[in-house]
Amino acid sequence: MENNLLLDVRKKAEVWLNGDYDQDTKNQIKALLDNEDTTDLIESFYKDLEFGTGGLRGIMGVGTNRMNIYTVGAATQGLANFLKKEFGKTKQIKVVVGYDCRNNSRLFAETTANIFSANGIKVYLFENLRPTPEISFAIRELGCQSGVVVTASHNPKEYNGYKAYWEDGAQVIPPYDTGIISEVNKIKHIENIHFEGNPELIEIIGENIDNLFLDKIKKLSLSPDSISRNKDMKIVYTPIHGTGITLIPKALKMYGFTNIIDVPEQNVISGDFPTVKSPNPEEPAALKLAVDKASSVDADIVMASDPDADRMGIAVKNDKGEWILVNGNQTAQMLVYYLIRRYKELGRLKGKEYIVKTIVTTEQIAEIAKRYKVPYFDCYTGFKWIAAIIREQEGKKQYIGGGEESYGFLVEDFVRDKDAVSSCVIMAEIAAWAKDNGKTVYELLQDIYLEFGFSKEKGISVVKKGKSGAEEIKKMMTQFRSCPPKEIAGSKVTIIKDYNALRMIDLAAGATTNMEMPETANVLQYFTEDGTKISVRPSGTEPKIKFYVEVRLPLKSREEFDAVDAAAEEKILAVKKSLHLD
At residue 471, the pLDDT reads: 85
The pTM of this model reads 0.93
Catalytic residues: 153
| Strands, sheet with 146-150, edge to edge from the N-terminal-most edge strand | 55-59, 159-166, 146-150, 94-99, 122-126, 202-205
Identify which has the larger pLDDT, 382 or 356.
Answer: 356
Answer yes or no: are the C-beta atoms of 121 and 83 closer than 8 Å. Answer: yes
What percentage of the chain reaches a pLDDT higher than 90?
92
**Structure confidence by residue, pLDDT tens digits, 183-230:** 999 999 999 999 999 999 999 999 999 999 999 999 999 999 999 999
Give the mean model confidence (pLDDT) for residues 510-535: 95
Q: What is the 3-state secondary structure (H, E, C) of 209-221?
A: HHHHHHHHHHCCC
At residue 2, the pLDDT reads: 60
Q: Write down all domains in the chain, each with its CATH number in brackets.
A: 1-46 (no CATH), 47-205 (3.40.120.10), 213-452 (3.40.120.10), 454-578 (3.30.310)
**Structure confidence by residue, pLDDT tens digits, 293-304:** 999 999 999 999
Measured from the Cβ of residue 268, the count of other Cβ atoms closer than 10 Å reads: 15
pLDDT band at 362 (very low <50, low <70, confident <90, very high): very high
Give the mean model confidence (pLDDT) for residues 445-463: 94
**Structure confidence by residue, pLDDT tens digits, 163-188:** 999 999 999 988 999 999 999 999 99
Backbone angles phi, psi at 124, to 5 degrees: -100, 105
Residues 556, 560, 565, 566: is their CA dihedral positive or negative?
A: negative
Torsion of CA 275, 279, 280, 284, to 10 degrees: -10
H-state helical runs in 142-196? 176-185
Q: Is 136 helix (H, G, I), strand (E, B) or coil?
A: helix
pLDDT band at 429 (very low <50, low <70, confident <90, very high): very high
pLDDT band at 581 (very low <50, low <70, confident <90, very high): confident
**Structure confidence by residue, pLDDT tens digits, 462-482:** 888 877 788 889 899 999 999
Contacts for 565 with CB less than 8 Å, ≥ 6 apart: 454, 456
At residue 543, the pLDDT reads: 80
At residue 207, the pLDDT reads: 98
On average, the pLDDT of the chain sits at 95
Asked if the model's pLDDT at residue 1 lies above 50, the reply is: no
At residue 541, the pLDDT reads: 64
Asked if the model's pLDDT at residue 582 lies above 80, the reply is: no
Q: Is 137 helix (H, G, I), strand (E, B) or coil?
A: helix
At residue 469, the pLDDT reads: 81
Cα separation values, 562 from 291, 327, 364, 566, Å = 22, 17, 19, 6
